[in-house]
A and B are shown apart, each in its own frame.
Chain A
Amino acid sequence: MNRINNQAVGNGLTRRSVLKGAGAGAALLSAPGFVRYAQAQSSEPIRIGFQCHRTGIGAPYGRWYDRVTTAAVELINEAGGINGRPVEIIIEDDGTDAARGSEVVEKFVRQHKVDLIYGTLFSHVVVGSAPTAGELKVPYYVVSEGYHVASGKLNRYCVQPGITDVKAQVRSVAPWIASNLGKKVTLVYPDYAFGHDHRDYFRPAIEAQGGEVVAMIPIPPTETSFTRYLPQIPRNTDVIYHVMVGPAVLTFVKELGEFFGRGGPQLFGFIDSLEAVDLRSPGLEFLEGSHFWEGMPRYAQADMPDYEKFYRDAVGLDENGASVNDPRDISTAGHMFGCWETLYIIKQAMEACGYRGPQDREAMIEATEAITEIPAGTEHPQGRKIFDGRIHQVFGEQNISRVKDGRLEVVHRTSIDDGRYEPEADYTTMSF
């Protein structure tokens, strides 16, 4: 309001018209509509701003994050909502872009008047949006798996309660890699925040197991051709540890196959490389027999617990982890459960603090920080978890799966303790 008026003065308008404008603005603010809204807030829906990767390189993730969110919110609302109020999801597209992410946070707060913001995946968007969320003092529940929340470098409003972070993931899988695949590892990772987490935390994790990283190959995130990087893989490599994101992952795996043929090193990948990609795509035959980390299994497993079945049915996943409506529409199963679980944590925290409106945002963060043990069940279908309120990060079990006949079969499930590490920060001592 003020800024507009200042501009108006600059444009040579008379003082009278400026005063009129200001008066009209004041009248608008105190208009009956606003008052009524404030009073009736208790029956208003709880508004959750969903920062969604609708477009840009994160779009396949965004689509499935959206579906999981819709399914979970439907269930929450059927069961009476949160504190008796229905949940309403407001979606804004961030284009998988850090700058737009921050704008979207601002729009959620100023225009949509949301209670909190949730749902971001890509680490650069999280890092770009977090400061704005902190400034506007709005809770920011991310489903990102980056280490940035747990690092303590964001602010007290940023929480990651539904998905484990990369540091915990690599620590969990390193012992298994060292004892089953080999000790000499070459790392291939995208050259930005998310890849750097892998770079920084995998080396100490594998060295602790008596292994070593023989080469590290950073690849620019915009790269579309990889053959030229492959000669950098030393001959004595036992295991290629690959984690790639973006549309070029198929090319990467295919070129790996062309380069090495049948006699190459073992492969261990993060499913991030192949989320939303059919494992039976041409060129991926090369992956047969290789291993992947999965946050949650994409393919229905024989010994799947009932709550996992319930979750898969609610989201609409078939046996192969594709949409029940279209078998070619492959899900991002390894990550998207995080949305479901985060929404239930939001519910739990809001109910614990008797959340009424934005004035209770701090109480809501404190209530989240107070959570520790999270039992497995329909609300947390990926499995049991432990939340560490000091670093706003959840810890859980990880799956290691092997590609067999074009399907992923879980061969090992790590324990929560495998992934735990000493916290490097304590958000609870920071001010709001």
Chain B
Amino acid sequence: MGFGPYFLLATLEGLVSAAVLALTAVGLSLVFGVMRVVNVAHGEFFMMGAVLAWWCASLVSGNPALGFLIAILLSPLIVAGVALAADRLVLKRLHYEPEATIVATIGLLYIIQQLALTFYGAEARPVQAPFDWRIQLPWFGYSGYKFFVIAAASAILLAVWFLLRRTNIGLIMRATQIDREMAQAFAIPVDRVYAGVFAFGAALAALAAVLIVPIKQAHYLMGQDPLLLSFIVVIIGGLGSLRGTVVAALLIGLSDGIISMFFSPTLAKMLATLLVALVLVFRPQGLFSPGGRLVR
């Protein structure tokens, strides 16, 4: 295979991982930005989304698109519900103290993971893609569903951007992010904003998982990698910055795709980690942080 097609394949693979990574990381970044909560359990919300997608798909027989449709509607909702409960029962009672919430979300991580192991089991289970197109390029074949993942993730990201920038809800969220006390003084129910943001962040992770699960299967340990990568992306992109998160996700996803294809996957991971270190040293607020006030 010549360099051109090889590069094309690497780019496509990179775009798929970047798309899913961007969705997952935006959820983490929102929670971090608005609530100052380092949500270590974010990857488990991702895993839960995938497991629920499997469950939804197994509810209906017949056309796989139907199961997928149910999954993409139901799975993020259920995960958001769980996150909401976690916020009310745990995070709120800890008054969102940074140290306490880290420990609490670590606990949440293990609880969700072990519940999945107990009730779902240890094997990887496949979910059928809603459609089964195989696009035959002159050099190689490629899954049509992967193109759909890229498109769907971009659409969802646009919607999130619209929500944050062009709606009242977004305004309230941004206000809370920039100055909590002031927002409260202006009668913004900060408490409810927090709960909503936590649930929304988890739902985004679940959505990303539903998109990826027909490619990768649901497995109870699948949350670890996205968590790590999301943190890398959020640190590089800047806390609470949507644009930064998307750019960083593209950077990490594409470089991972291309470097691991031409060199080795280990090198790609090393470079990503090195990039994080460099960003932390030279621009600790991230490449696109919306402003110094955020980093208190």
Residues of A within 8 A of B (CB): 55-57, 59-60, 62-63, 220, 222-225, 227-231, 235, 247-251, 255, 258-261, 276-277, 281-283
Contact = CB atoms under 8 A, between A and B. Distances in A.
A227 B222 CA distance: 19
Interface string B1-30: 100011001100100110000000000000
Contacts of B124: 247-250, 277
A249 B217 CA distance: 10
A258 B266 contact: no
Nearest to A235: B1
Contact residue range for chain B?
35 or more
Contact of B126 (A55, A250, A276): A250
A162 to B, nearest CB: 23
Contacts of B257: 228
B55 interface: no
Nearest to B219: A247
A225 B215 contact: yes
B216 A227 contact: no
Given A57-B221, A59-B122, A228-B10, A251 B216 contact: yes
B96 interface: no
Contacts of A277: 123-124
A224, A250, A255: residue with the most chain B Cβ atoms closer than 10 Å: A224
B123 A60 contact: yes
B13 A227 contact: yes
Given A60-B122, A223-B265, A228-B9, A247 B221 contact: yes
Q: Pick from A220, A227, A229, A230 the residue with the most CB of B within 10 Å.
A: A227
B217 A247 contact: yes
A189 to B, nearest CB: 15
A222 B221 CA distance: 11
- Nearest first, the 4 closest Cβ-Cβ pairs linking A and B are A59-B122, A247-B124, A282-B128, A247-B219
Contacts of B115: none
A276 B142 CA distance: 27
A220 B140 CA distance: 23
Contact of B141 (A229, A247, A259): A259
27 contacts: A55-B122, A57-B221, A59-B117, A59-B122, A60-B122, A60-B123, A220-B265, A224-B216, A225-B13, A225-B216, A227-B9, A227-B142, A228-B9, A229-B261, A230-B140, A231-B6, A231-B261, A247-B221, A247-B222, A251-B217, A258-B134, A258-B141, A259-B141, A261-B134, A261-B136, A282-B128, A283-B126
Interface string B36-64: 00000000000000000000000000001
Contacts of B99: none
Contacts of B260: 228
Contacts of A231: 1, 5-6, 9, 140, 261
Contacts of B9: 227-228, 231
Contacts of A229: 261
Contacts of B261: 228-229, 231
Contacts, number: 80
A17 B126 CA distance: 62
Nearest to A260: B141
Give the residue among B122, B260, B266 with the most A Cβ atoms within 10 A: B122
A224 B225 CA distance: 10
A220 B216 contact: no
Contacts of A56: 221
Contacts of A222: 225
B167 interface: no
Given A228-B9, A251-B215, A261 B117 contact: no
Given A62-B122, A227-B9, A248-B124, 5 more contacts: A220-B265, A225-B16, A231-B261, A250-B124, A277-B123
A281 B129 CA distance: 12
Contacts of A235: 1
B215 to A, nearest CB: 7
B143 interface: yes
Contacts of A283: 126, 128
A235 B122 CA distance: 37
A235 B2 CA distance: 12
Contacts of B126: 250, 281-283
A277 B219 CA distance: 13
Contacts of A62: 122
B123 A59 contact: yes
A185 B265 CA distance: 23
Contacts of B128: 282-283
Interface string B142-173: 11000000000000000000000000000000
A222 B219 CA distance: 13
A260 B16 CA distance: 19
Contact of B142 (A57, A63, A258, A282): A258
**In this complex, which of A225, A230, A276 has the most chain B Cβ atoms within 10 angstroms of its Cβ?**
A225
A347 to B, nearest CB: 30
Nearest to B117: A55
Contacts of A251: 215-217
Given A225-B17, A228-B260, A258-B142, A247 B123 contact: yes
A229 B1 CA distance: 12
Chain B CB within 10 Å, residue with most, of A63, A220, A231, A281: A231
Contacts of B217: 247-248, 250-251
Contacts of A282: 64, 126, 128-129
